[in-house]
Structure 1
C-alpha cells in the first residue's frame, strides 16, 4: 500500500526479572533486571509502587544491564528504606512499556538474630544468583571452624 507505514514485529521481553532476595544490613544487594529488544530500552525501578529517583540516590544505582544495585543496605528498627517490593519497568518510546514481576527485598539484621549464627553477604559468580554465608559461632571440629553455606537463587 502506497503512503502507509508498515509495522514490523519488534521483540521486547524481560530476559532476566528480579526475584525475592534476602539482603544483609550494611552489605550490597543486587536486584537483577534485563530487557531484550532490537532497540535499547530505558529501565526504571519502582519500590512499593513508587518510581525511584536514582539520579539523586547515593546508595542505589542502575547498572548498564538494567539491574538495581544497592551499595549498602540500610535497616534499623525505625528506618527500613531498602526493605520492600521492587519492580523494574522497561520502555521503548515508539513501542511501549513492559513491567517485570515484583520481588520482595527482605533484610536480615546480621547481628546474630538468625538461627544459629550471623548472615553476611558473600560475592560469588554462580550465575547471577546472590549467595549468603551462614557463619556459626563457636562451632569447631578439631582445629577447624565449621562454616555452613546457604545459597539463594
Structure 2
C-alpha cells in the first residue's frame, strides 16, 4: 500500500524533504493541508508567506498551523477522468468522510494548489480571499 508522510510545521520552517510542487515569481510552493470547518483541506504553502492557504465554502483561509507533504514518490499528471483517482494521493477528508485529493492549476498567471473533490471532478483553489473552481488541472499521483 502506498502511503504519505505529512510533517507539522511551526514558525513557517519547511522541512528539507518537503515535496516541491512548483513555484511562483515570489516563492517556491509546497503541498500543505490544514483543518477548517472540521474538514482537513489540501492547500497551498508559499515559502515566502509561511502560511497554508485552503479553500472552503467559497472563501480562502490562511492557516498558521498546518502540515506539509514530504517525500518524492509523487508526480503531477493531467486530470482527464475520475479513473485517475485510483492512484491519486489523498490530501484530506471532509467531515462526512469524503477523501479529498491534491491538484494544481494556473489562475491569474499564478500556480495554485487546492483540493480535488471526487464527486464533481473539479479542483477548488484559494486565491485573493475567494475559492475558485476549474475543470482543467493537474492531479498529484503516486509514481508507479
Name which one, 1 or 2, has greater alpha-carbon Rg.
1
Q: TM-score, normalised by structure 2?
A: 0.24
Q: TM-score, normalised by structure 1?
A: 0.23
Higher strand residue share? 2
